[in-house]
Every structure is written in C-alpha cells, then in structure tokens.
Structure 1
Amino acid sequence: MERRLDIDKPLWSQDTFLGRWKHFAFITDPRLCILREQELDKAKQLLEQYRKGLEPPNTKLEDVIRAKKIYESAFHPDSGEKQNVFGRMSFQMPGGCLITGAMLQWYRTVPAVIFWQWVNQSFNAFVNYTNRNAQSPITTTQMGIAYLSATSSAIAVVFGSKRFLEKRAGPLLQRYVPFLAVAAANCVNIPLMRQTEITKGLEVEDEQGKKLCHSKLAAVKGISQVVLSRIVMCAPGMTILPVIMEKLETYPWFKRMQKLHAPFQITAVGCFLTIMVPTACALFPQTASIKTSTLMRWEPDQYEILVKNCEGSNIPEKVYFNKGL
C-alpha cells in the first residue's frame, strides 16, 4: 500500500537550514510561474480530494507531490487565495534578474538610477503585499504610503550616494550605489507594507494550531527576518557582479561588445538568484516562534488573553506564527 503524505506539512524537516532550503527550492522553482491557470486550479482540486481520501483511483504519489509543489508556489499559505504571478516567490528569479541586471547596467546617471529604483520598488511593494501575513489586512491608503515612502527612500539614497561618491570614490564603489539603495528601501518598504501587523499584532498559536492571542513583538520579529532575508537575497549579485564587470571592462574585447553588457549582467544575476532565492527564504523558518515568557514580560495584556485561551491547560513554552516571505 502506497504511503500517504501529510500534504499540509513540508516534505522536508524545517528544523534545519538544508531542509528549509530544499522546501523553498521546491516551491520557488521559476518554471512554476509560467503554468496556466487551469493547471493551478487542477492542483488545488487534487489536494482537496487527497485530503479527504477521495482522489481519483489511479493517482500516484508523484502526482500528489507535483500538485503540492504547484499549489504552494501559487496560493497564499494563510488565506488559500491564488497569488498574482508577479508577486509569487517563483517569479523572483526572472523578475529580479531583469530589474537587478538593469540597475547594475545603468547606474552611471542619476535619472537612470532613479528610474530603475522606481521600477524595483514597485516590484518589491507588490511582492511584499502578496507575501504578507494575510491575517493582517492593509488599506489602499496604507499601501500607497508604503509604496511612496519606499520609493522616496531609495531615490534619496541614490541621489545622496551619487553626490557623495562621484568625487570621493572610484568607478567600482559607484557601482554599489544600487545595492545601497535597495538595502535601504527594503528597510522601509517591508515594514510599511506590513504596518498593520506591527500596530495590531500577529495572531499566534500553539503547536496544535489553536489561536491564543495577538503579538506585536511577533510581527516585529517576523518582519525583521524578512528584511534581512531580502537583503541577503540580492547581495551576492549586486556586490560580486560589480567586481566582475569592473575587471571585464579592462579588456578591449569586452569593451567593444557594449550591446552584450546588459544581457550578460541580467544572465549573471539570474544565476545568482536561482541559488539565493531559496537560500534567503531558508535563513529563518517560515513558521517562526516566540517565547511566552517574552510575551509575559513585554506584552502582559496579550499574555493574560493567552492564559485565558489556554483554559486551564499547560501554558506552552513557545507560540508560533507565519512570518511571511
């Protein structure tokens, strides 16, 4: 008899970095972002049937694994809603390599850098909204403020860095202006796009999934981890590639091939992101935790609610929440 999967849990242990890396490499496969809507819906339907034990008679285990891969790449883990393709993590490699490659290629003039930072922050804002914790809704006004703030911060860093470095640093350091802008904007974009989580707190639950209370500390922890992950995701491509380009441009044969510089950088960034998207996502567990003793000390009102919701049973040492991506 063929074994049955627990389709609501990852295929690999999430207690180790390697297990998390395999899981995220599984669901961020860029090939998944070109699947048709019918394939996504079919995968969701098969999982729903499998969960009830009502799948078609000839269903194989690999069919269920394939459906699980498709579903988890395209549907939000909290709400179960189908995500827009441009906001999915499986689109990070193709979308990110095009935009990052362009930022690294056209960095010499302020207007070009500002334009590509605007494109990048528009993309990031959409990704951040798509992968937020869906239990904390955000209004159109809040989204607009987050978008404008992140874009403005990126442009401010670009303008300030260009003015400061153009007379004080060589060409190599000036190539790092896009990375400085991206890192700074991530520190603004993600917290603002998920500000409701910080102001109202995230729902935290015990190991059985019982909701116990809300925690602002959990939101801060989760968002901080996501910010760091996003910076790590783009760091290798935006810090190593400038060194490679600076060296290659010393060769006359490479200088003559100006039209190939942009495709080369876009392809190189794509190679970096293929590895770094699952790596960055795997830095921290998707289901994060926070100690109840921390809640007792810093959020006593929520701790009281937690105690009441435990209804006389033992208070767990930790509570859990989805940190988002």
Structure 2
Amino acid sequence: MDVNLLYWKCHGQSFFSRFKIWANLLNPSSLVTTDAEIQQVRALLGSGEKVNKEDEHEWTIALSSVHADSGSVLPLFFRPPAFLPLSLPLVVGSILPHISVKSAVFWQFLLHSYTAGFNHANRNSSSEKGKAANLNQRLLIAGTVSYAACAGALPQIFVNRLGLTNPGVQKFFRFFIPIPLSAALAFFNVYIVRGEEFETGIQVFDSNGNPIGFSKAAAKKAVMETAWSRAALFGTAIAVPNLLVAALERTRPFKKNTMLVASIRHISVALVFGLMIPLSFSLFPQLGMIKTEHVEKELQAKAVKGCLFYHRGL
C-alpha cells in the first residue's frame, strides 16, 4: 500500500480529521514545490511502515502532489491545491447572466474541461500500470465535456431561443434551474470520466495493506462516492449564491444597484465554493472500506477481518 494511503488509514477515517487534513492540503503555497523536492520528500518518508504525523510539511507535499496509485507527481494544474484558484473563476463565469448562447457555452466548456481533467488526473489508476493510454477513453472524455457544456448552457438557450421576456420566468431559468443542473452535470462528469474503472476494477487491500486483487464492486463504490461529493460541491456552490441574489433582488436597494448585486454574487460564490471544497473532499474517506460480502467471490476468501480497503481517488 502506498505511503499516502497508509497516512489516510491512520489519520483520515473520521470526517473531522479528513476536513482538517484537506484544509491544510489545499493551501496553494505548496504549488511552488518543484518535482525534485517532491521526490526527495517521498524518499524521506520511506516505505511508510511508520507514519509520523509530526512530519507535517513533508506529508502536506506528498499528499497534495503525488498520486497514491502510480507514485508519480501530479500535473501542476490538477493538484488539489490548484483546484480552487483555477476553477473558481470558471464557476463565476458559468453562472453569470449571459447575453448570448455562445458565451454561456464557452464558460461551461472551460469549466467542464478543467473538472474533467482534474477528475481524470486524480482517478484510481491502479489497473493501468504498464498499460498505454486508452484512445477510446480520451474520446469519451472529449464527448463528455462537449455534452456537459451544451447541457450546462440550456437555461440560456431556453431564454434566448424561446424569447422569454417575463422576469419571473427568466429568474426561474437563470437562478433555479442551474442548481440541480450543475449538481447533475458534476456527477455525470465524474461518472463518465472514471467509467473505465467499472470495467477494469480497482486494486483492493487487506487490513494489513497487502494488495489482493482487483474489484469492480469497489470501483463502483469509489466512483459513486466521488461523483456524489462533486455533485454536493457544485450544487451547493451554485445554490447558495443564486438563492441569495434572487432574494436580494426583490429588495429596494438592490433593485437600483446592479453592481452591488454582482458583487454580492461573486463574493458569495468565492466563500461558499472555498468552504465546500474541503467539505466535499472530506465526505468520504480517501482510503475507502468495503465489506467482504460486497466484493467478488474470488476476493472474499482473501479478506481479513471481514473488510477490504481501496483508494477512492478524488
């Protein structure tokens, strides 16, 4: 078992401990660490037989920069600390009241392109060791991004194409429809981008950290947990600002000052999205657990203490 997973096993089994760890890992200052420094930290941490939480700086670098399956350094833009500074402007741009359909599709395309890249870079890749990149999977990701971009722009498409001029109807399409739509598309993005795991399975470990095989049941559980956490992230990040702005626009001060409304929208998106990232990442353990009776029969005999562990991905 990778040293990163051993750390999560020792210190990340409760929600509050995971939230505390993620709040520290998401600090963008760790992005300035070079690949050579990251590899040195990995070497210092050793085989992971002793997981010393006192080495906080080293663990922050390892957990935020190294993939737990391959042991390779994550691409800079797709490391967890880069998620907030890179995706926040895209989220803000995607929920703005656009004038044209093209601008709405453009921002949706940027948002789903980045999240698809992040989901793919942080997937469980345990079954891909020694294998060449799958062209079909790349084409599927491209199709997922294109579909999600068009689907995300549906509220703007309805407003423009149907010529909706009633303020109440426009508010319904601009403020309320995007909430479940954003959550559903975030779920869809993870589910499709990591869909290959359903076919190949992911590596599972016994309670001693020994790999015992690959499980499709564990893969389904890992992908579904991540998909639900991403739906919670984007659904909440869109819901709170939209509902807040919809309520404030009914008051007299905000009716006369559109710039104030825009400022409130941007600030609320930044606050809610920034808080929801560590919360959503902490909803499920990074080192997940699945009961023996839920995995394949050939793996059940190898299990110890009635459960197996797996890397959930992110």
TM-score by length of 1: 0.79
Q: Provide, for residues 220-262 of structure 1, a one-character-per-residue CA deviation record: whole Å limited to 9, x for no partner.
A: 1111110110011122220010122234445676567656766
Look up the equivalent residue of 2:198 and give its one-letter code: I
CA distance in 1, matches of 2:184, 2:45: 45
Matched, 1:133 2:124: yes
CA distance in 2, matches of 1:161, 1:239: 17
**2:78 and 2:118 in contact (8 A); partners too:** yes
Matched, 1:318 2:292: no
The one of 111, 116, 121 aligned to 2:107: 116
CA distance in 2, matches of 1:103, 1:260: 19
* 1:24 Cα deviation from its structure 2 partner: 1.3
State the Cα RMSD in Å.
3.3
Counterpart of 2:209? 209
TM-score by length of 2: 0.82
CA distance in 1, matches of 2:214, 2:5: 27
Counterpart of 1:56? none
What does 1:163-202 correspond to in 2, within 5 Å? Answer: 163=158, 166=164, 170-174=169-173, 175-202=175-202
CA distance in 2, matches of 1:24, 1:231: 18
**1:292 and 1:317 in contact (8 A); partners too:** yes
Counterpart of 1:96? 87
Q: Provide, for residues 17-62 of structure 1, a one-character-per-residue CA deviation record: whole Å limited to 9, x for no partner.
A: 10111111121223333x142xx53244144235389xxxxxxx96
CA distance in 2, matches of 1:155, 1:244: 26
CA distance in 1, matches of 2:232, 2:201: 26
The one of 59, 71, 81 aligned to 1:80: 71
**1:27 and 1:90 in contact (8 A); partners too:** yes
CA distance in 2, matches of 1:212, 1:162: 50
* 1:123 Cα deviation from its structure 2 partner: 0.7
Q: Kindly tell me: are residues 176 and 100 of structure 1, through their superposed partners in 2, closer, same or farther at Cα, counting changes over 3 Å? A: farther
CA distance in 2, matches of 1:177, 1:92: 25
The one of 13, 22, 28 aligned to 2:20: 22
Q: Kindly tell me: are residues 91 and 82 of structure 1, through their superposed partners in 2, closer, same or farther at Cα, counting changes over 3 Å? A: same
Q: Kindly tell me: are residues 6 and 90 of structure 1, through their superposed partners in 2, closer, same or farther at Cα, counting changes over 3 Å? A: closer
Q: Kindly tell me: are residues 52 and 161 of structure 1, through their superposed partners in 2, closer, same or farther at Cα, counting changes over 3 Å? A: closer
Counterpart of 2:142? 147
Matched, 1:156 2:145: no
CA distance in 2, matches of 1:7, 1:187: 24
Q: Kindly tell me: are residues 201 and 267 of structure 1, through their superposed partners in 2, closer, same or farther at Cα, counting changes over 3 Å? A: same
CA distance in 1, matches of 2:257, 2:10: 45
Q: Provide, for residues 88-145 of structure 1, a one-character-per-residue CA deviation record: whole Å limited to 9, x for no partner.
A: 2212211221011111113454322222111111011100111101213351331221
CA distance in 1, matches of 2:183, 2:170: 20
Aligned residue for 1:90, secondary structure, equals: helix
Q: Which runs of 5+ in 1 are unaligned?
A: 54-60
CA distance in 1, matches of 2:122, 2:230: 12
CA distance in 2, matches of 1:260, 1:31: 31
* 1:274 Cα deviation from its structure 2 partner: 2.1
Worse-superposed segment, 8-17 or 212-221: 8-17
**1:154 and 1:181 in contact (8 A); partners too:** no
CA distance in 2, matches of 1:7, 1:322: 7
**2:203 and 2:214 in contact (8 A); partners too:** yes
CA distance in 2, matches of 1:159, 1:171: 13
Look up the equivalent residue of 2:143 and give its one-letter code: L
Q: Kindly tell me: are residues 248 and 31 of structure 1, through their superposed partners in 2, closer, same or farther at Cα, counting changes over 3 Å? A: farther
Corresponding residue pairs, total: 300
